[in-house]
Structure 1
Amino acid sequence: MRFLFVTAVLCLVLPAPASAFFKLDGYFIAQEVCEAFQSKNKQTNPGNITTSVHRAYEMLGLNKEGGDYFQVVIDGAPVTNSRWVSTSCGIHVVEAGTAISRPVDEDDDVVIDQSGSESTDNLLTLSWQPAFCEIRSGKKECRDLNDGLLPHTTRQLSIHGLWPQPKGKDYCGVPANVKNLDNPDNWNRLPSPEIDTDTADALRAAMPGFASFLHHHEWIKHGTCFLGDGGADEYFDDTLHLTDLINDSAVGDLFFNNVGGEITGADIRAAFDADFGAGTGERVEIKCTSDGGRNLINEIWISLKGTVTPESGLGDLMLAADTVGMGCSRGLIDPPGLQ
């Protein structure tokens, strides 16, 4: 039997920027029955999941330097199996011979920061999650959605990504060994983007693929080329800001009010025009997918030009971009569950 050593967490965590997530090896051993939160800030706990005394859980990390919450894996937990547990609830242990605590990246897989100006030519890609899950039903977020555990995905468009343009501008400063890991089966092995816990909590709700480590992939492939001064945290905060503007508009209402029905590409473009200014709809491309004879609207791609900030007006960013073809002209807004 391999031995486990108790680690003094606060002493062993290496220096890093304040509020950065720290990846930890080993296990969390629960010493009490404690709640395991989806969001530690909002104290949400889908499934009312608690730890079991003396049980070992795979350790993911610590919320920040000197932090007060471990992130651990609790298999079978709904919505996400990555849960936050108070550090007072148990102890962190590592297997004999393994590395102790370390920052997210090690020397052989460091993503090299790139110099240059922040990307001002971007493509925001948003998904209609029920349509996505018709053809990828085995993914964790899709199992949860189809089991009725993600009702918010029928009230919003979900984040796929924010992609610096032109096409092919990706993997900036990413070493070959990390790039070679970038396939869905290995996204959990990619370096974690350094984001604060508020951003991570918001992403879990806005990007259901977070459960499958989509955020790792989006950061490594696209975010590394965004070049915002705030790194990954700015990249995802800007993505969340733009997504909220769309979901809080006539566009979000159009999707929500037509679940189970059919809409046209012209309807989507008109909704953009209504809230963001005449002509903005001409910067939107609609993507559809076929499912057993049904034509499902599964994504919209929004072209943007200009620097994205928390104060950015979406209409200005869209109107500065070139017009694009409509793409799919008509499709169904898929309801949740396998049809």
Structure 2
Amino acid sequence: MRTLLVFASVILFQPGPASAFERLEGYFIAEKACEAFQSKNKQTNPGNIATSIRVAYDMIGINKAGGDYFQIRIEDAPVTTARWVSSDCGIHVVSAGTATAEPLGNDQISDLPGREESTDNLLTLSWQPAFCEIRPGKTECQDLNAGNLPHTTRQLSIHGLWPQPKGNNYCGVSRQVRNLDKPNSWHLLPAPDLDTDTTDALAAAMPGFASHLHHHEWIKHGTCYFGEGKADEYYDDTLYLTELVNDSAVADLFVNNVGSEITGDAIRTAFDQSFGEGTGDRVLVKCTNDDGRTLVNEIWISLKGQITPESDLGDLMLAANATQMGCNGGLVDPAGLQ
């Protein structure tokens, strides 16, 4: 009898076939801040990444049918963008008929009557190769680093046009939209209403267009611009100012020194030469560090006055207050990872 019981116990506790990872479609909507692990078993989390409440993340799968960990995509997470989060951290939604899984409409943005067009603004322009050294996973950076965006080394690229003072953001924007304003869910934000010409020009002048940066910039900053033409006017004005800079000695300074260092003084002098003495004092130079190299990353240009298709950039700059130089200078990074 004892022999039979032992035999039965062996049969009972024989391991079954291992449960397999199951791929899932749609999105994971975080309902709380949870650690996002590189390894769910070892609980490793390079970068100490956590989910943000009510943000949609691309769903990859679940560790097993009915499992306890979802694998999601968190853009810009170090080491790997594929991260594991506990299944009780949020919900899995698919695109069919769910508001959180499809782009929201512009009915989530309210008109604010009586507000005049912004006359205190900051034009922010990027040197895209430097940005892509620190954000190589971005769609536009993969294209640039593969040699598919050569024009980014012949111009400064649009980051944004920011109504001032700082913090003047999200005008008339619903909380539902604000909660989606994260890089991994920019594609779910209401798309700016742009005509074909503006869309084509913006796609060339703003490489981040490929990652829906234009959605984010409109929602966060453009909604506080209050031009009569709304998003189309906001981006037309941004494109106009950017073209003036790119047709000047400022862009020439960058283009002619790719792979070499330039100083903040040289950048400011190029503005003085192109737009009038004193305009350089309205330029803040931003740099970033990449493995010990200092890279010129952006220039922030202070502007005061209403922007029109006939505006003189020098006049707009001289009407603004002077600013500190910021970075004293750095390398003009070539395209491709260095």
TM-score (norm 2): 0.69
CA deviation after TM superposition for structure 1 residue 105, in Å: 5.3
| 1:232 Cα deviation after fit | 0.1
- Kindly report which structure 2 residues correspond to 1:1-339, keeping only aligned pairs within 5 A, or say none: 106=105, 110-115=108-113, 116-339=115-338
The 1:97/1:134 distance shift into structure 2, 3 A limit, reads: closer
Q: Measure the CA separation in 2 of the matches of 1:106 and 1:165.
A: 26
Give the C-alpha shift of residue 98 in structure 1: 5.0
1:172 and 1:334 map into 2 onto residues whose CA distance is: 36
- Secondary structure at the aligned position of 2:219 is classed as helix
Q: Is the 8 A contact 2:108 2:173 kept in 1?
A: yes
1:326 Cα shift?
0.1
Deviation track 1:218-239 (CA, whole Å, cap 9, x = no partner) reads: 0000000000000000000000
The structure whose Rg is larger is: 2
Number of positions where the alignment pairs a residue of Structure 1 with one of Structure 2: 241
Contact kept in structure 1, 2:104 and 2:188, CA below 8 Å: no
Residues in 2 aligned to 1:149 and 1:136: alpha-carbon distance in whole angstroms = 16
User: Is the 2:104–2:177 contact (alpha carbons within 8 Å) kept by the matching residues of 1?
Assistant: no
Structure 2 unaligned regions, length at least 5: 1-94
What are the Cα deviations for residues 52-88 of structure 1, in whole angstroms up to 9, with x where unaligned?
A: xxxxxxxxxxxxxxxxxxxxxxxxxxxxxxxxxxxxx
Note the C-alpha offset of 1:158: 0.2
Q: CA deviation at 1:138?
A: 0.3
Q: What is the Cα deviation at residue 288 of structure 1?
A: 0.2
Query: Which amino acid in 2 is paired with 1:290?
Result: N
- State how far apart, in whole Å, the 2-side matches of 1:98 and 1:111 are: 21
Q: Which position in structure 2 is the counterpart of 1:25?
A: none
What is the aligned-residue RMSD (CA, Å)? 1.8
CA separation in 1, counterparts of 2:117 and 2:319? 16
3-state SS in 2 of match to 1:272: helix
Secondary structure, in 3 states, of the residue corresponding to 2:234?
helix
Structure 1: runs of 5 or more not aligned: 1-95
Identity %, equivalent residues: 70
Could you report, residue by residue, the CA deviation over 1:289-319 in whole angstroms, capped at 9, with x for unpaired residues?
Answer: 0001100000000000000000000000000
Q: 1 CA distance for matches of 2:202 and 2:172?
A: 24
- In the aligned structure 2, how far is the partner of 1:304 from the partner of 1:211? 27
Please tell me the residue identity of whatever aligns with 1:305.
Answer: K
Q: SS state of the match for residue 335, structure 1?
A: coil
Deviation per residue, 1:22-63 (Å, 9 max, x gap) = xxxxxxxxxxxxxxxxxxxxxxxxxxxxxxxxxxxxxxxxxx
Q: Following the alignment from structure 1 to structure 2, what is the Cα–Cα distance between the partners of residues 106 and 245? A: 33
Secondary structure of 1:281's aligned partner: helix
Aligned AA (1:111): I
Q: Determine the C-alpha separation between the residues in 2 that align with 1:253 and 1:135.
A: 24
Shift of 1:106: 4.2
Give per-residue Cα distances to partners, 1:89-113, cap 9 Å, x unaligned. Answer: xxxxxxx9759xxxx8548x52001
Q: Residue 330 of structure 1: CA displacement?
A: 1.3
Contact 2:128 2:152 in 1 (8 A): yes
